[in-house]
Amino acid sequence: MKKFSSLLHNLILTPSRNTKIKLLQDYFNKLDINRAYALAILSDQLSFQFIKASKLKELVYEQVDQHLFDYSYDYVGDLAETISLIWPTKKEGKSQNLSTLIENIKKIKKSEINTEFSKILSELSNNERWTLIKICTGGLRIGVSERLVKTALADLYNKSVNEIEEIWHGLEFPYENLFQWLKNEISKPKIDFKKLFHPMMLANPIDEEKDFKRLDANEFQAEYKWDGIRVQLMVSSKSVSLYSRTGDNISSAFPEIIEATKGDAVIDGELLVGTNFKPSGFNDLQQRLNRKKASKDLQNKFPVFIRAYDILFYKGKDLRKFSLLERRKYLEKFQKENKTNQIDLSSIINFSTWKELTKYKNNFHDDLNEGVMIKLKNSEYLPGRKKGYWYKWKKNPKLVDAILMYAQRGHGKRSSYYSDFTFGVWKENELVPIGKAYSGYTDKELLVLDKFIRNNTINKFGPVREVKKEIILEVAFDDVFPSTRHKSGVAMRFPRIHRIRWDKPVNEVLTISEFKKEFKLS
């Protein structure tokens, strides 16, 4: 427990991804039952909700004056941390390991949970107490994704993260087969087919100058790049499951897909919101994301469907070694056989030269696609981002000139730089912020901006600096939506700094109403 709690403590304070991986590897360099519990906790695979937050409060009120606790909770803002710090008895017992501790808690009878849990809390150190409460109340919030844990394990034991992802959902606590395979004691665990996740084939961005000279347009086919979320749908007569790009099972969030899908296949496609297979934009889709469940009301308001573009298995047959053209035939067959599915097919764009494709990339469907995908016709289905097979060609971004208003320091490596920028446009004689960006600039531009901010601050609000309104930023963004949450009434999707407009005077920047008109928001 000591080791695991110090791992969590360090992870929460480390901004760097590489350091996080290193910390995870230091911890998982031994694979035992404690690590199995740790893995289940970090990947949220087991539920350890032995006790509710309200119960914990009851327990702490038995130990500490209620007002003193409330003053403290108010100050700290985090229940687990407040309880772990304020818990008074400090007779640290013999340090228990993680697995023994959890198994002991599991054995506690419901009627005795109050006294027994209090006793356990009293015997732990501060940090262990914090860890245990975090585990029990769910939601660690330590900035570590399941994917990061898999990456750390893969690197440490010389496996590919794709291999781990593939079998992940067929693995069960206490992961004996996984651990043995990682240690090279057995070959890769055989997993029930339905629980396999097949790592996805990913595209590289196209380099317009180099790639178009080099690549023969006739060898490629193109499809629109839809702005949804990438999914893998696994359907058989017995079950249907839906996975995200990183192999998370997201079936429970999209029950209508699970109910409606028939057939026997593994489909690769894009999940979109819309009725009658007409996508309605990412803003709507966002209402359905990051939820564990979807109410009927939500399903009605924001119905989802899948736009399929590839098929990996058909009636048990592995198609991944087949060419894209051949797979497409199977996909069409699957589609014909299962017409009631909430699935349509991604249409194929006919073109014979790269130049011809340009107009599709930029104009078609305007806001609803992000550009085009370019795929080698005879490519196998290869996991990962292999070069030379699939490319994405994004639309030119939308651009707007806006005035730098506020700046804030970044995190990690950028913590000594003012690297988060808020920018705005005019509203009568004032500026109203329309977005915030923390990428896109070159290292040189960042230095210039940082210097400007330090020398031209006119106001400080906590960590935020207000600067003289002198710098115009050309901001690139994917899309803009109406928003009631922002003063300006607009919210941008993926804004980034395109360049600094040294040439333009601030009074030539648009007003908010001109901005809305230009981007069709009013």
Partner 1 sequence: MDFINHQLFIKDINVHIDPILPKKTAIITHGHADHARFGHDHVIATRQTIDIMKIRYGDKCAKKFTPLRYGQKYSIKNYDFTLHPAGHILGSAQVLVEKNNHRLVITGDYKVGKDETCKNFKLVKCDTLITEATFGLPIFQHPDPKDEIQKLIRSVKINKNNCHIVGAYALGKAQRVMNLLRQQKYNETIYIHGSLEKLCQYYSKEKIDIGKFEKVSSKDKNFYEGKIIIAPPSALKDRWSRRFPNPIICMASGWMTVKQRAKQQGIELPLVISDHSDWNELLDTIKKSKAKNILITHGQEDALVYYCKKQNLISKPLSIQGRSDEEIE
Closest CA to 84 of 109, 101, 59, 105: 59
C-alpha 132/C-alpha 136 separation (Å) is 6
Q: For the segment 494-513, give every residue that binds partner 1 (CB under 8 A).
A: none
> Which residue among 3, 78, 236, 392 contacts partner 1 (CB under 8 A)?
78
Among 86, 144, 467, 476, binds partner 1 (CB under 8 A): 86
Angle in degrees, 0-180, between the axes of helices 146-156 and 161-168, rounded to the nearest 10: 130
Q: If binding means CB under 8 A, how many residues of this protein chain bind partner 1?
A: 29
Q: Which helix (H) or strand (E) holds 178?
A: helix 176-182
- 254: nearest Cα among 299, 284, 194: 299
Q: Which is nearer to partner 1, 47 or 455 (CB)?
A: 455
- Which structure tokens are listed for 509? 């920047």
Told to check if 12 binds partner 1 by CB under 8 A, we report yes
From candidates 46, 53, 76, 113, binder to partner 1 by CB under 8 A: 76
Q: Would you give the distance in Å from CA 226 to the centre of its chain?
A: 18
Please identify, among the stretches 10-18, 157-165, 314-322, 389-397, the one whose residues bind partner 1 according to the rule CB under 8 A.
10-18
Its sign, for the CA torsion 48, 49, 55, 61, is positive
Per DSSP bridges, beta strands 317-318 and 418-427 are unpaired
The stretch near partner 1 (CB under 8 A) out of 29-37, 85-93, 304-312, 357-365 is 85-93
67 near partner 1, rule: CB under 8 A: yes
DSSP state of 252: G
**Residue of 224, 214, 216, 223 lying closest to 353 (CA atoms):** 216
Q: Which residues contact 443 (CB under 8 A, 6 or more apart)?
A: none
Nearer to partner 1, 125 or 358 (CB): 125
Residue 75 or 502: the one with the smaller Cβ distance to partner 1 is 75
For 354-478, strand residue ranges (E) read: 369-376, 390-394, 398-409, 418-427, 430-437, 457-461, 464-467, 472-477
> At closest approach, how far in Å is the CB of 72 from partner 1?
5
Minimum CB distance to partner 1, residue 286 (Å): 27
Footprint of partner 1 on 411-430 (CB under 8 A): 411-412, 415-416
Among 81, 163, 256, 326, binds partner 1 (CB under 8 A): 81
Shortest distance (Å) from residue 88 CB to partner 1: 8
Is 66 a residue that touches partner 1 (CB under 8 A)?
Answer: no
Question: Judged by CB, which is closer to partner 1: 245, or 454?
Answer: 454
Query: What are the residues binding partner 1 (CB under 8 A)?
Result: 9, 12-15, 64-65, 67-69, 71-72, 75-78, 81-82, 85-86, 88, 130, 409, 411-412, 415-416, 450, 454
